[in-house]
Amino acid sequence: MDGAINVYDLQGNQKGSVGSVVADIVSFQFHPVTKNMYMVLNNSNSVSVLDTVRFGAITKLSVGKDPVAIAYNPHNGLMYVGNRGDQTFSRISPKHQVIDTIKTESFGLGLAISSKEDIIGVSNSADDTVSISGLQSGPTVTVNEEYYEDREDFQHNPAMVGHVKLVASGEDRINALQITEKSVTGTEICKTISLSNSQSPQNFANVSEVFDFDGNLIDGHVTWCFKINPFQQVTFLIYYNQIEMYNMLPEKSRISTGVQMSKGIPVSWLDNPKDEPPNESTY
């Protein structure tokens, strides 16, 4: 054994050699952004960074005691080195710097990071356990102070949707919008609007403009459903024509039905007998 690190392509052909390594390599991980290979050197408590294009060593970094595992975190672009000796994680930036050390518990050998959630899993063969740590949360929805007042207004005065513009952060697009309308009998009617052909790039932004909303209302009985990626932000710009319901009521509807927002009907009218029209003294 000469301790050399050889590089092979997918067909099994050797493409190059990095050279001799005297330390024990117990784990390695490829960084998909920098295209570098990170190798954990256990007996020297360090990590060696290799250039996979030029087949040469870039640098050697000191980490915690007894490093045995390494994993890439796609959520922040950092490498996590699991140090069994002092129960820590050494975090390495894409610029090949150990930025900090995080304390952990029950770390034995295995280390894995979820590609969907920002959580870390470590295994410990000594007590047959797997520990999960890190941030695990759903999307954050910000609701302004006027939302509840606006929602109540739409329930009494529905709005007819003209078209909708979606502005999303990042490169991932919103592909579909599902509209579910619930009737007074509890029946649900679902309609899916495809957004794949609605791309409207503006200043290279991720924008979709949709006009397929004929007959759709905002009235408190319609739900819009869509899927977004973790940490993605989506803004809806809705163009609508709101219907003022009291404009559609006849003048005497307030007296006969008790509607309190009929346009142009003074409160004093309610004191008149039902069949007697108001006179000038009423005003």
- Tell me the domain boundaries of the chain: 4-134, 147-242, 245-282
> How many CA within 13 A on the CB side of residue 5?
21
Contacts of 46 (CB under 8 A, 6+ apart): 23, 60, 61, 62, 63, 67
Rounded to whole angstroms, how far apart are CA atoms 49 and 36?
Answer: 7
The two three-digit tokens of residue 126, written as one number: 């000594």
Contacts of 203 (CB under 8 A, 6+ apart): none
Confidence (pLDDT) at 282: 47
Confidence (pLDDT) at 276: 57
CA distances from 89 to 43, 59, 78, 83, 263 (A): 17, 19, 11, 6, 68
Could you tell me the mean pLDDT of each successive run of 10 residues in the chain, 283 residues long? Answer: 71 77 76 90 90 85 92 90 89 91 81 82 80 60 70 83 85 83 79 78 75 78 80 84 70 51 50 55 48
- Cβ-contact 133, 104 below 8 angstroms: yes
Rounded to whole angstroms, how far apart are CA atoms 194 and 212?
Answer: 9
Confidence (pLDDT) at 279: 57
Give the residue from 55, 54, 91, 48 showing the smallest Cα distance to 73.
Answer: 91
Cβ atoms < 10 Å from Cβ of 60: 14
- Cβ-contact 106, 124 below 8 angstroms: yes
Burial 231-270 (b: 16+ CB within 10 A, else e): eeebeeeeebeeeeebeebeeeebeeeeeeebeebeeebe
CA distances from 160 to 117, 155, 250 (A): 38, 12, 22
Rounded to whole angstroms, how far apart are CA atoms 52 and 140?
Answer: 39
Contacts of 260-268 with CB under 8 Å at 24 or more apart are: 261/156
Backbone angles phi, psi at 154, to 5 degrees: -70, -30
Confidence (pLDDT) at 213: 75
CA distances from 91 to 43, 47, 57, 58 (A): 19, 11, 19, 17
In terms of CATH architecture, what is 4-134?
7 Propeller (2.130)
Rounded to whole angstroms, how far apart are CA atoms 151 and 159?
Answer: 11
Confidence (pLDDT) at 253: 53
> What is the tally of helices (H) and strands (E) in the chain?
2, 20
Rounded to whole angstroms, how far apart are CA atoms 199 and 167?
Answer: 10
